[in-house]
Structure 1
Amino acid sequence: MAGAGEVARDLVLVTGDRVTLNPTGAVGIEPGEGRDGINFATYRDPDGHVHVVPSDAEDLLARGELDRNLFDVTTLAEYGYDSRGGGTPLIVTYARIGDSPAARGRFAKGGARLTRELPSVRGAAVESSPGTAAKLWNEITTEVATGAGRRKLRAEIGRVWLDRRLDLHLESSVPQVGAPTAWAAGYDGTGAKIAVLDSGIDATHPDLAGKVVAARNFTSEADARDLLGHGTHVASIAAGTGAASDGTRRGVAPGAALLNGKVCTAAASNNCPESAIIAGMQWAAQQGADVVNLSLGGLDTVGVDPMEQAVNTLTAQYGTLFVVSAGNRGPGEMTVETPSTADAALSVGAVGDDDFLPYFTARGPRIGDTAIKPDLTAPGVSITAAASSTAPSTPPGEFYVANEGTSMAAPHVAGAAAILAQRNPEWTGTQLKSALLGSAQPHDPTPVIEQGAGRLDIARGYDQRLLADPPSLSLGRQQHPHHDDPVLDRTVTYTNTGTSAITLNLELTTRDPNGSAAPAGMFSLGASSVTVPAGGSAAVRFTADTALNGPEGHYGGTITATAADGVRVVTPYAVDRAVAGGEVTFRHLNSVGEPTSERSTILFSLDGGEDYFLGTESEPITRYIRAGTYLLQSWITDSADFESRQTMLVDPSVRIDGDQTITLDARRGRPVDVDITDDPNEGTVSVELGYWWRDNAGNMRSYSNLLDGGRPLAFGQVDPEQRTPGLTSFLNITLAVPGPGGDFVNSPRSYHLVRRFEQYVPTGFTQTHSTASLARVDARLGESTPNTRGNKTSYPSFGEQRWAGQFAIQFDLPFTHTEYYSAAAGLRWFSTFGDHHPATRTSTISLQGAPRAYRAGTIVTEGWNEPVLGPSYSALLLPSDGVHRTGDTIHLDPTLIGDGSGHSGWSNATPRYTLRRNGTVIADSTDGPWPDVTVPATRSTFLLEGRVEPMAPAELSTLVTAVWTFRSGTASESTPVRLPLWTVSFRPALDDSNVARAGTAFRLPATLAAQPGSTPGSVRKVTVQYSTDDGRSWRNATVTGSGNTRTVAVRHPNTSGFVSLRATVTDSANNSVKQTVIRAYRIAP
């Protein structure tokens, strides 16, 4: 799915550019103020996420100075960082110590608000509004003199990150890790402090009563209570007393004290702001926590992100141990999540009671450098622990609940660390981590990169007197070819904290990528035994020679040091003997054959592997590229002048299998020229060249470049005769007649032209059209809020492929605009509309229509944003849209805002909904639509209530409510079954400002419709009431007609004001709706 939910989402990028993300993945783009001439690249990654990258951000991304998540519009929508949410929160790090005052000055001049200082990452959390994003962009970046549209960060700014919203990672387990042995020896964590940074703790639970010694709330919720239940569950695994179970369900360290740092809200997902987590880390370390448990995380990226930096900094500064769950994104490799991927963190994966990894637990190695992560494992399957009494999901009187995930594994290790801290109060977090890894129990045949040192073993670890430094050996990646790989030479130092010398026998085990023994001599130790003096240290040499022949991939094993009295230390190691690749040199020539650094080149893996984004480093560029087949595309600009030619070159299939040179010559491109023969005044708004393909891993990928039409453009395929099965490309061109101001605002006519190409990318394109060869649409664009500007966008749809982009044409509302469209077999057009205030860039409504086919030579009239704005399901795009049932799961996506023409959408406010079954509430949320609710299989009566109150400056439909009643029982597990929810759409005849005359009898056409694809009964009863005092009193309206088409008669008073409408429909199957729209339309004399 391209976006969060199934309606268009209006987003503002960090650059100030407005993006409308549609459910299909199509995007509408309105460049920010002063950003004319900026081009936009749009691509879909293997996870289905849509990215929109302005051309002036590409260099910053290539240098790693901007977080790529800032342009992942799917993620922005999922986090709620849209125009309703008020802007995009950032984490900005400073370039140097002492840059904070200068950076804060930049934030202030850019209209941004500093929400919290984050000294552990040498930065701050910053938030800008949609109206000031472009201003902030110009404050934190500056132009590069040598390149048009290229920018760099200001001297005082280090990096700019998205303030992500991370997810929480959801009796035999405590004995499994050996905790009772430590208890019997007198060690239960007494005197140690465990900070739980989570959704809060229910301090009233019997297992946790009196244990919370400090609490701090870092969220937007009112206090540190646990309204979700996750934090309470985690806290009791680490340190619960088991009081509610007569001690049966004790945590690992029942004597430890707890610090409650609430960093996550009760939302279902994306509920842990990154800046809140970092602030919680700082607080916990300052409070003297020995151990900090973080049962949360998010996707890791190459390099050190702000959370990883905070873990590393605070560990070094305070000696705190951060125990972090590895994540639940398994079973693929490199799925381990941040911040568990920090060097200093103790990353914890999950195992079942048989020590095997469950499918969900994240695996290593760490992305980028292939370091060993997770560090060890602990029980995380079917863990029963405390339930929060303040979480709505907890049944009354229940004290315990079972959950699973790496969230449950981490607190087992946090509790173990507290026991070690009690036993060794002088130890730092680094020493605690070493002891826990060294005492772990490896599980054969699980690879080291999946389990680290092995499963937690407190029975051995609580009395561990021997520490290894480093506790694990990550040897990195040895690049292909391997005949000249350097020998990797490392040292493991054993430290004896006991009072007598220890002689250790050393044993080396290793496995190749296939699980077999590594070639003899590839890994070796410098000695077979070593004696470590009391209170002293001894070193052992370890070498890896990957030049020896063997399979390519990840090798891993353990160094096991064992003493006669049973003392044992395990040190895992791993190295990546990389698959084939080569040093590839890319040379770029402009359209006159000169070398140029004014270019941007991307290699998309056709094998499901890594993509490579090459910025504008010095020409030529040389990079190591892994062997495989790639789709290569490059933008080459003739010079730094905005008026110079741009050329896009594509090679749909490039094979990399060793060192080579690739030359990209812009002279291969040919111009694009499209004209309307009978409208000589038209100009080019935008040209988009895009393509989609399915890679060899089965992922559907897409890429397009949306270009400002005001500069010379050329396209070309490196080999024009090459044909590539599975590749489809397209040209999407928008022409328009300029408006009164000379630009395309208030354009009277626009032309939307598209051409599709199978198995190749065009080399140049020339075409002429007449208006008679196109379909004509006369679009009325209504004004629901005074002084707003509307954006109308239209996207071509080729079957299921609807991923095109579009620059939005803007209109001062109300406005009537004539549009012409390409018409062809299989081609449909998908249109959207949105409005916003030009000064604040805040929107009040976004609407979308269903894809529509047009015939050449026809004239169609369409109305957009015309009252009455209320519930509508007529523009559902996907089978998963709307309210439907699959098996015993009801998916809630109630659409409370649509216009009188049936276009569905959303307002600038968050809707609230409540679902009841047989009178009992089973779901209630203020976080918007789109949850899945599990219900009993038996056929039952459901009541779904929806409510939304659009915020000022909206003047129409200021309150919309609907109460649907329907019957439903178990349904197909494979095909969503839409439920019979009725709506009533009113389409009154109003003037251009949506006003009807006061003091008259007035008739409103009304259309009754159930969700498309549902099976309602026949309409049995319809009633309509109207109000002229915002719903304080109601009058019955006269309803005439039959079936699904009715006419409603009302009487307007002879004064200015608003008319509100309330309607009910009941069908023969007892499905019904009662919907209310306050201020449905205006009246005036």
Structure 2
Amino acid sequence: MRALINGLLAAALAAGTLALTPAAHAGPANAIPRASSAGSVPGPAAPPPATGGPAVPKVRGQVTLITGDLVTVSESGHRAEPGPGRTVDFHTQVSGGHLYVIPSDALRLVASGVLDRRLFAVTQLLTWRYGDADRSDIPLIAQGAAAAPRSARAVRPMGGLGLTALRVPKQEAGRAWQELAAPRALAAGRGKLWLDGRREFTLDRSTAQIGATTAWKQGVTGAGVTVAVLDTGYDPSHPDLKDVVSHAKNFSEEPDVSDTFGHGTHVASIVAGAGEKHRGVAPGAKLAVGKVGGQQGASDSAIIAGMDWAVSEAGAKVVNLSLGAPDSPGLDPVEQAVNTLSQRTGALFVVAAGNSGESSPASSPGSADAALTVGAVDREDRVTAFSSGAPREGDHAIKPDLTAPGQEISAALPGGGHGEMSGTSMSSPHVAGAAALLAQLHPDWTGARLKAALTGTAAPTAGVSPYRQGTGRVDLVRALGQRIVAETDGAWAAFPWDGPGGRTATKAITYVNTGESPVTLDLSAEGEVIALAARRVEVPAGGRAQVTVTIDATGKAPGDYPGIITARAGETVVRTVAGAYVEPESYDVTITALDSQGAPAEPWAQVYHPESGAFRDLVFQGGEAKVRLTEGDWRLHAEVREDQARITIASTAFTVKDATSRVTVDARRGRQVRSELDDPTAERGPAYQWSLAEGGWGASMVSMRGGIGRLHVIPARRPGLRYAAHTSWFKKGATPSPYRYDLVDRRDGEIPEDPVIMGRRRDLTTVTAVYRASGVAATGLEGSGPVIPGWLMNTTTPNRDRMELPATITHHRTPGFDWTGALVVGAMALDDPVRRARSGREEWNVAVSGPAFASGGEGRTGDASRTGDRIAYTAGPFFSDGVRGRLGLDDAATGTIVLSRDGREIARADLAGCGRRPRNCRIGAEVPAGEGDYTLSTVFRRQVAHSALSTSVESVWTFRSGTTPEERPLPLMAVRYAPGGLDSHNRARAGSLVRVPLWVERNPGAPRSAVRSLTLEASGDDGATWRRVPAVRTGDGWTALVRSPAAPGFVSLRATVKDASGAGVTQTILRAYAVR
């Protein structure tokens, strides 16, 4: 809603907003090597979305970006608003299930890799509760002084890793961005800035399954070894963990190391639990528990700080990380920390592979080279369906490294009991415990040696690819008993299609004999591309022997070639993963851009693969961009912007055939977009928008100034291409204009040669819109715009003029499209649902203005919900008018929220500026476990120049609630009214009988429960006295007849509702409508 308030009122000053929304699948580079950003976009792999439009995000809310700009996500789409003093475009894309909104002045920094793309993943930020309703700062991790703005607050350095966790207050974001975007800061490549993101915790017979019981019988229990568990804390009073934890420290935002989630206690007891029945893998080891998060996950900076503490202060030899996030090309801060600390300290980091199944790569930081990454098997050593295992992002290397039990694992839970959990979170501590046992036997071994010993001795599951299981299920009997360890920097190669060195690589495996007798190993290789220099090698006692491995993919088709090298000597078996990835046929393509004068240009541009849906951002320097693309058909979509005076849109089809492939975008070929209307009294307005889409890719822009004449398009014709443009017309010399024309030109299969947006009055629909006043004269600004599903055109453009209310505007619109609208009056904003363009009448700012709930259940239920024993509530649209589906709030209103249980107050919050500062209008409170009777009351009051009505709006909800296993919406209700017969000031005639239809709305996602009773009361003296008014059931609501006072004044309304579940609300609106 804030985007409506600020965006429309600032429309005359705003340069425009750009919403470029590729709905395609993200196409990251197949980086070779993994740490490089160079590489190819995947070729055909999966069909693009059928509609060509992005999925509506399942969250809603407002997010202040690091640039100071604001993005609002709602059920119907999103709006982006430039921060104060900024004139930028907004590029958006849907990738990995999340919506990214990137301001144009951040694009180059994101593309170059110095600015974390996740800083603009608005739906991810909302999911992580980084939105404006949940926190007032932006959490960051900076590398280098240039990435740390002066307005940021340092919260923790991270162990000599060159990283610092920062927090930038959102009100300072614009100023911070000016520092970051300065020529000598990030733009000069001096440092890097990440979002301090979150990682999820990747949720009796298992110890015997891996051979731990055999180790115990031999006296190997992990004694003398410290294992760090970085998780959700632990239960210090649990019998299984008594006297087990030697170090504990809290790195989370919660108050102490106590485990309120259960995950950390469970994981810790799998490693080293001391219970008789539920004994951990290494019951003699000591635990260092670092609490790095809770139910909402763990921040990257907390994880890194915990890792450093574990190895530098707590003395941990092994560190367990049962957490992760989707992997991406390159190295993120946590992956860097795993690699750096492993090398620096000799510790072993054991990491869960993730629970996304066989089609997903191992999660981060399990994707780090140094990590010992663990997948999950069931009790029969079958790889579980949830265990992640697919080629690693970038080089397609094999992860996980091995597997361990992870299905229905029984272990300790907070409160002294035990319970079963499943996930690679449970597999990882099995291996961490196994590493502790091995470290007891070999205290001088490094983490790399421990990793090699565990992976080399794992027991494979027959017929299962190494991508799913690595070398197999951890086998402690072999790991503790064998004396041969295979060490290698990696017997894996990634070959570019046309690399200068061909497709042959030489690797080495060193076999280390820790025993007292020489061992002769027979070697064999499974895999199409693996060749061994020797089939037999002798490893001397206490010595080592090296074997050369040739990875030869010459003549092989593009794809993955995983394999295993096995060394045998009697009962001794050592396995090492090996193989290659061959890139699809790909070439470096040069793309040139010229402006309308033929000079080099630096446009925003993307290449898009129409079959797979893969796309890539391009970065131009000196009018050229280079990108590596797979052979075949591609599309180039570009926007050449020239000092706000001219924008040229291009969409070009091209074919990549060989290394000579080149593409040129030439703005000189652009045709000016015009608009024509057969009404000589009208003139074009300053706002316009365009949309372009093809397959799963789409882009749109809305501009608030300059008019449609700024826009130029380069004609194109091909199947599947879709183009649309929209502009408005108003009456010449009339302020405000009594009418508005909204004209749309939509084309299938082409960007037109003659781009004219044509309007003929006889062909247009006509809607008479009445904008009421609320008892006093006021100034308002309306906005409207077309909604084209899959075309990404769903943004309102403001009227040229403000209007004095009450007012009437006649809207003439191109038929065949849906439309959305908005109205701002003072600090109050109303947002209309999508409506079909048909002739008729609509009314705005209709009494009664009061509480409402959004239709549908796709928004984040956290707006009013209970999760476990925490209740969260954000005051919503308390000033919605009397039209179904329409939502509104008033930023000038103030008030209070109070939450009580069994008559005792638990939490209270003051309300002010809920549109601009939703965090100010939210409570979040820990409540007692178990069932209880709750009262949640919210009251807004306003004394404003733009309205004499709804001066006090109060809802008092009562409901019963108990501990929940997951987030559940609260059973809140709102009563809405639409009194008939009121005039344009929302006034009834004195003494008249007013027919008042009313209906009940519910919190989205809350259980449906029939209304058992509804009582309505009215007052003519601002609530001093009340009289009951009968309400009769009609359709899906009720109807009441309310007698107006005999003298001018106001009518107040109070409704009391009870449903079948026992939940209820008493809603009181003072001065609901006026009387004249």
- TM-score of the superposed pair, with normalisation by structure 1: 0.77
Does residue 361 of structure 1 match 2:387?
Answer: yes
- What's the CA shift string for 1:479-506, capped at 9, x where partnerless? 2258972420112222333344333222
Code of the residue aligned with 2:1015 in structure 1: it is V
Does residue 861 of structure 1 match 2:856?
Answer: no
Does residue 427 of structure 1 match 2:421?
Answer: no
Choose from 622, 625, 632 the match for 1:621: 625
1:248 match: secondary structure: coil
Residues 911 and 624 (structure 1), Cα distance of their counterparts in 2 relative to 1, 3 Å cut: farther
Residues 44 and 1001 (structure 1), Cα distance of their counterparts in 2 relative to 1, 3 Å cut: same
Work out the CA distance in 2 between the residues paired with 1:277 and 1:791.
48
- What's the CA shift string for 1:245-288, capped at 9, x where partnerless? xx232221122222222222234xxx322222222222222322
Alignment of 1:286-301 (within 5 A): 286=312, 287-301=314-328
1:66 match: secondary structure: coil
1:648 match: secondary structure: strand
Residues 904 and 880 (structure 1), Cα distance of their counterparts in 2 relative to 1, 3 Å cut: farther
1:124 match: secondary structure: strand
| 1:44/1:702 contact within 8 Å kept | no
**Residue 309 (structure 1) shift:** 1.4
Code of the residue aligned with 2:390 in structure 1: it is G
Does residue 506 of structure 1 match 2:523?
Answer: yes
Does residue 588 of structure 1 match 2:600?
Answer: no
- What's the CA shift string for 1:1032-1080, capped at 9, x where partnerless? x99565456664122557999999xx9996522368xx57763234776
Code of the residue aligned with 2:153 in structure 1: it is R
**Residue 555 (structure 1) shift:** 0.4
Residues 647 and 752 (structure 1), Cα distance of their counterparts in 2 relative to 1, 3 Å cut: same
Which sections of structure 1, spanning at least 5 residues, go unmatched? 145-151, 390-397, 511-517, 695-700, 838-844, 885-891, 917-925, 931-941, 967-977
Residues 690 and 330 (structure 1), Cα distance of their counterparts in 2 relative to 1, 3 Å cut: same
Work out the CA distance in 2 between the residues paired with 1:759 and 1:125.
50
Work out the CA distance in 1 between the residues paired with 2:732 and 2:649.
27
2:110 match: secondary structure: helix
Report the equivalent of 1:14: 66
Report the equivalent of 2:957: 962
**Residue 722 (structure 1) shift:** 2.1
Residues 551 and 1022 (structure 1), Cα distance of their counterparts in 2 relative to 1, 3 Å cut: same
Does residue 722 of structure 1 match 2:749?
Answer: no
Does residue 553 of structure 1 match 2:602?
Answer: no
**Residue 365 (structure 1) shift:** 2.0
**Residue 126 (structure 1) shift:** 2.7
Work out the CA distance in 2 between the residues paired with 1:599 and 1:668.
15
1:132 match: secondary structure: helix
**Residue 655 (structure 1) shift:** 4.2
Moved more, 728-737 or 755-764: 728-737
Choose from 105, 108, 120 the match for 1:71: 120
2:464 match: secondary structure: coil
Report the equivalent of 1:649: 650
Work out the CA distance in 2 between the residues paired with 1:654 and 1:944.
66
**Residue 305 (structure 1) shift:** 0.7
Code of the residue aligned with 1:854 in structure 2: it is A
Report the equivalent of 1:409: 427
**Residue 347 (structure 1) shift:** 1.4
Residues 1064 and 626 (structure 1), Cα distance of their counterparts in 2 relative to 1, 3 Å cut: same
Q: Percent identity?
A: 31
Code of the residue aligned with 2:664 in structure 1: it is T
Choose from 99, 110, 124 the match for 2:164: 124
Residues 791 and 18 (structure 1), Cα distance of their counterparts in 2 relative to 1, 3 Å cut: farther
| 1:173/1:379 contact within 8 Å kept | yes
Choose from 40, 60, 70 the match for 2:109: 60
Does residue 82 of structure 1 match 2:82?
Answer: no
Alignment of 1:550-949 (within 5 A): 550-564=556-570, 566-594=571-599, 596-608=600-612, 610-638=614-642, 642-651=643-652, 654-659=654-659, 660-674=661-675, 677=679, 683-691=685-693, 693-694=695-696, 701-707=697-703, 709-710=705-706, 713-716=710-713, 720-724=716-720, 727-733=721-727, 752-763=742-753, 765-769=755-759, 773=764, 775-776=766-767, 778=769, 780=771, 794-798=784-788, 804-805=794-795, 823-831=813-821, 848-856=831-839, 858-863=840-845, 868-872=849-853, 875-876=855-856, 897=877, 899-901=880-882, 902-903=884-885, 947=936, 949=938
1:488 match: secondary structure: strand
Alignment of 1:112-191 (within 5 A): 112-119=152-159, 121-142=161-182, 153=186, 157-191=190-224
Work out the CA distance in 2 between the residues paired with 1:650 and 1:83.
37
Code of the residue aligned with 1:576 in structure 2: it is Y
| 1:120/1:309 contact within 8 Å kept | no
Work out the CA distance in 1 between the residues paired with 2:809 and 2:789.
22
**Residue 137 (structure 1) shift:** 0.9
| 2:719/2:749 contact within 8 Å kept | yes
Report the equivalent of 2:998: 1007
**Residue 753 (structure 1) shift:** 4.0
**Residue 297 (structure 1) shift:** 0.9
Alignment of 1:451-470 (within 5 A): 451-470=469-488
**Residue 527 (structure 1) shift:** 1.6
**Residue 633 (structure 1) shift:** 0.7
Give RMSD over aligned pairs. 4.9
Work out the CA distance in 2 between the residues paired with 1:61 and 1:954.
46
Work out the CA distance in 2 between the residues paired with 1:736 and 1:224.
64
Report the equivalent of 2:286: 257
Choose from 89, 96, 101 the match for 1:39: 89
Choose from 341, 346, 371 the match for 2:397: 371
Does residue 489 of structure 1 match 2:506?
Answer: yes
Work out the CA distance in 2 between the residues paired with 1:687 and 1:154.
30
**Residue 468 (structure 1) shift:** 2.7
Residues 225 and 749 (structure 1), Cα distance of their counterparts in 2 relative to 1, 3 Å cut: farther
**Residue 120 (structure 1) shift:** 5.3
**Residue 456 (structure 1) shift:** 1.2
Work out the CA distance in 1 between the residues paired with 2:582 and 2:502.
9
| 2:681/2:732 contact within 8 Å kept | no
Report the equivalent of 2:346: 319
Alignment of 1:305-316 (within 5 A): 305-316=332-343
**Residue 570 (structure 1) shift:** 1.6
| 1:94/1:156 contact within 8 Å kept | no
Work out the CA distance in 2 between the residues paired with 1:259 and 1:906.
51
Choose from 418, 438, 441 the match for 2:456: 438
Report the equivalent of 2:79: 28
Work out the CA distance in 1 between the residues paired with 2:223 and 2:1011.
70
**Residue 649 (structure 1) shift:** 0.7
- What's the CA shift string for 1:813-862, capped at 9, x where partnerless? 9977877756355422234578998xxxxxxx986433112335x45321
Work out the CA distance in 2 between the residues paired with 1:1021 and 1:1082.
18
1:530 match: secondary structure: strand
| 1:834/1:846 contact within 8 Å kept | yes
- What's the CA shift string for 1:340-359, capped at 9, x where partnerless? 11222111111223333222
2:426 match: secondary structure: helix
The size of the alignment, in residue pairs, is 961
- TM-score of the superposed pair, with normalisation by structure 2: 0.78
Residues 763 and 412 (structure 1), Cα distance of their counterparts in 2 relative to 1, 3 Å cut: farther
Residues 529 and 736 (structure 1), Cα distance of their counterparts in 2 relative to 1, 3 Å cut: farther
Report the equivalent of 2:256: 223
Moved more, 457-466 or 14-23: 457-466
Work out the CA distance in 1 between the residues paired with 2:305 and 2:364.
16
Code of the residue aligned with 1:828 in structure 2: it is D
